Copies of this chain bind each other. A is one copy, B any other.
């Protein structure tokens, strides 16, 4: 009889760990217990099942050639035993046994282990809001949830949907709901969407995009209760500020790690989940943990974060499998990388936002670069907004946020690889990114963003973030906003402030001395602030006081406040 390995949880990390150790050491005896009806399914595909991008729900549970990944498959192909509908209720570390309960018939038994893997995943956050148990209120986490929500969408008594929480799941479910004919409201406690991924200024273009698609945003507002229609069904969502008609509510406030069983067993558990070392071992050397139930070590911040991701869960599984087989391999951690597509608008982030970095006490330097994702002369080029964050004195890359209708994946993944290597903005510049006009501009957006930071580090330019300029305007400060765009561009879009002076870039050398004050601060800008940068250099050359010349980061395109637009 081989070493007994017991795995709690059968979605991503658990099966991966089980199959990996069995491949490495066929002598082991591996059992997975899973409280649900299905094993090894693509939970991340659920929003796309709702949308129709996945043919049938069962496609999430089969191999690429259509073989069901069921109990028989695991036995015949993987040599792994699986017990479905089986919930682990307690770990007896002393006697190395786990008490499990059959959720169908309630019977209990004890399963012995030599090594244990906790891969219990996560659960949707469901705060004790009055009315939260009413009919018509759904979460989206398991296959059963997916099936239930799809059914609810098809049989809803009305077409008013309210999503609570503007995180990844909530935002990904907008498109399926709109496609199914629902009007959608989103209620988000924080003042902007995707708050875990983005800085506020970067969320603004996304918020404009979803508003333009008819979604009603209630940011900076919290749900106080759900109203009953008198028959046990939700009829309204009552927020701090308003009431919203609701036939269907999706609770998407976030997920919390299923770490209770570990905590009850006396294992070290933090606010972000079960604590493991780099071997994915818990505080008990015979117990490993991975996937959505553990705290992830963020290699950029050097701190723990909660980053439940199918990609990371699979990596954890491989590492745990190795270590169960006695290989002693480690996992460095994650960068908090994420990507999504919200109704044709791509959003990606890796590393730290400026807010994250500041919360860690890091001094940062940032760039804000909205630009086409391909050479501007290509008909298929599309805008992407990029914000890069670096450590102020070393230039070490800390993170990027990229969003827009254009391509974001290559940029975020490249940045993630550079973060893995603790690279600087100079390393970004030196990365030999692929260039061809159907794919990318000669100087990739990521490289331009790095160069802007390098220019700031080199003292070539001092800049203000949009929020800083807005604050100066709001305070009524006396300064000049120098817009150096062409007259045609000015007609199409401009800032509605009295202190804007317009001199097209080609005239700055000639006119600056006559038309601009030498005693006031001058904030240069253009469409994206590349020409603004040239103008700032020209003013310095023309003898204006360097200390008084600034750039508006990201130009008018990245300006998230008032604009006059005539398109």
- A29 smallest CB distance to B (angstroms): 13
- In the bound complex, residues from chain B placing their C-beta under 8 Å from that of A286 are none
Partner of A350 from B378, B434, B460 at Cβ < 8 Å: B434
Q: Which of A58-66, A114-122, A130-138, A204-212 contacts B (4 or more CB under 8 A)?
A: A58-66
- In the bound complex, residues from chain B placing their C-beta under 8 Å from that of A375 are 42, 44-45
Provide the bound-state CA to CA distance between A250 and B279, in Å: 58
Partner of A486 from B60, B65, B486, B489 at Cβ < 8 Å: B65
Partner of A509 from B55, B79, B442, B443 at Cβ < 8 Å: B79
Provide the bound-state CA to CA distance between A23 and B536, in Å: 10
A229 within 8 A of B: no
Provide the bound-state CA to CA distance between A412 and B66, in Å: 29
Contact indicator A379/B432 (Cβ below 8 Å): no
Size class of the A contact interface (CB-based, 8 Å): 35 or more
Contact indicator A420/B427 (Cβ below 8 Å): yes
Q: Output the residue of A62, A371, A376, A380 with the most chain B CB within 10 A.
A: A376
**How many copies of this chain sit in the oligomeric assembly?**
2
Provide the bound-state CA to CA distance between A485 and B66, in Å: 11
A99 within 8 A of B: no
Contact indicator B417/A378 (Cβ below 8 Å): no
Provide the bound-state CA to CA distance between A76 and B78, in Å: 70
Contact indicator A339/B64 (Cβ below 8 Å): no
A337 within 8 A of B: yes
Contact indicator A380/B339 (Cβ below 8 Å): no
Contact indicator B423/A310 (Cβ below 8 Å): no
Q: Which of A263-271, A312-320, A355-363 contacts B (4 or more CB under 8 A)?
A: A312-320
Ordered by A's residue number, 12 sampled pairs between the chains whose C-beta atoms are within 8 Å are A23-B460, A42-B437, A45-B437, A76-B506, A79-B538, A314-B443, A335-B432, A338-B436, A339-B440, A350-B432, A409-B434, A420-B421
Interface residues of A (CB under 8 A from B): 12, 23-24, 26, 42, 44-45, 48, 53-55, 59-60, 62-67, 72-73, 76-79, 172, 299, 309-315, 318, 331-332, 334-341, 348, 350, 371-372, 375-380, 407, 409-421, 423, 427, 429-440, 442-444, 447, 451, 460, 485-486, 488-489, 505-507, 509-510, 527, 531, 534, 537-538, 540-541
